[in-house]
Every structure is written in structure tokens, then in C-alpha cells.
Structure 1
Amino acid sequence: MSEVSEGTGGANAAVVESAIPKEELARLTDDIISALKTVYDPEIPADIYELGLIYKIDIEDNREVKIDMTLTAPGCPVAGEMPGWVENAVSTVEGISGVEVAMVFDPPWTPERMSEEAQVAVGWY
């Protein structure tokens, strides 16, 4: 299994050993992140990855992807839809066997989790 834990926009990433070859794992990770960057929070003009809404990406040895994500607020109007958007986007990555998205609220999201790119997009930088 490989695990990428997300800090602010990908900072603080940690990778655990995997049965998947390093080159393939790097490609899968890049492709998954690219797919995540196609999903936007409808209330904020930035993608969910740069917003820091993705807490963890696990790539299992069987190539199943498990994602822990959060929302900017628990009462977000798209709370019921966004995990499906994430699953659909990541499902397009070649070489994965499936996607499971879990919604977590601990720790709660804060604006400090946003990357500089997202801060610029929302006019906070």
C-alpha cells in the first residue's frame, strides 16, 4: 500500500512502501492528483486539492484508491454530492481498480490548509 497524506496543497506528503513499482506508483499518484484538481468547490473558485480538502490518498497494492476528504463546512450544500464527484473523477485514472471516498471532519478544515494557488484564486494572498 502507498499512502499520500496531504497537508497544505500536497505539502507534508508521506509515502509508505508498496508492491506497485515506484514508476507506476508515481504516475498513479500524479494522475490521481490531476483528476482531483478537476473537481471544484462550487462556492469557492479553486479545486478541492488546492483547497486542502483532500486529507489522505491510499493506493492499495490491488490498485484500489481510498481517499479521505472533508468539506469547507459540515453544512456544505454539496456534501452529499461531492464524494461522488471525486469518485467519478478519480475513476478515470488508468490502472486503478476502484475508488472509495470517505468524508471526514476531524480535523476540521481551516483556510490555512489552502495552497498559495488557492489563496490567490480566492483573493486572500
Structure 2
Amino acid sequence: MLQDRPDVPEILKSVREFITGVLDKLDDQERYHALCANYLLNIVEREFAIGGAIDDAAAAKLRAFLGVDAPLPELSKRLCAAIRSGECDQRWDEAVALVMDQVVGKVKVTKPDHLDPMHR
């Protein structure tokens, strides 16, 4: 949907600045909640910025590996089923690499500073 300014990243920045500006005025519990809100805003910002590209790349890799054209959630379910059934045993290294890519992609959005530098 076409929107006039502010756009989503600007809104997120404004909310984060507001929360940061009131942190010193809050009691311990409220401060904790405000810090949690800032943490969640960071996740939303990263999801908005890179989540689509991460999902697109994951879906493309899964489609190539599984030989199936389906949405990402379905592809992930199929990979799990294939691993459980032993269908991936002959391609185990590839399957593990796919799972690792998915985990790295999720952590890039939720807590990227927890990643080893080679995955950032």
C-alpha cells in the first residue's frame, strides 16, 4: 500500500527514540518492559529490511533440494519429513547445510550479534 511519510522504518525509529528518551524516568519493571519493546522493535526492523530476502533464498534452496515448488512453510515441513523418514541420508551434508542456513537466517533477524562472524 502506498503511504505518505513516515514510512515503516521511520515509524520504528521514532518509537525507538521515544522509548529510549523515557528510559531514565521509568522504574525498574517499566524500564525492563521498555528495553524488551526496543528489542522487539529491532527484530521488526531487521525482519522488514532483510526478512524477505532471507525467506526467498531459503525457499529457492529448498525447492532445488526437494525438487518441489511450494511456499516456504510447506517446503520446511517437507524437509523435516524427508529427514525423519531417512530420505536425506544419502544427501546428509546438503540437508544439514540447508538446516544451518535456515537457522542462521532466523538468527540474523532475531539476534544477529549471537552469530559467529562467518555467518553475519
**Fold shared per TM-score above 0.5:** no
Higher RCO by CA contacts (8 Å cutoff, separation 6 or greater)? 1
Work out which of the two has the higher radius of gyration on C-alpha atoms and give 1 or 2: 2
Q: Which structure is higher in strand share? A: 1
Q: Which structure is higher in helix share? A: 2
Q: Please classify the TM superposition score into its range, dividing by the shorter chain length.
A: 0.3 to 0.5
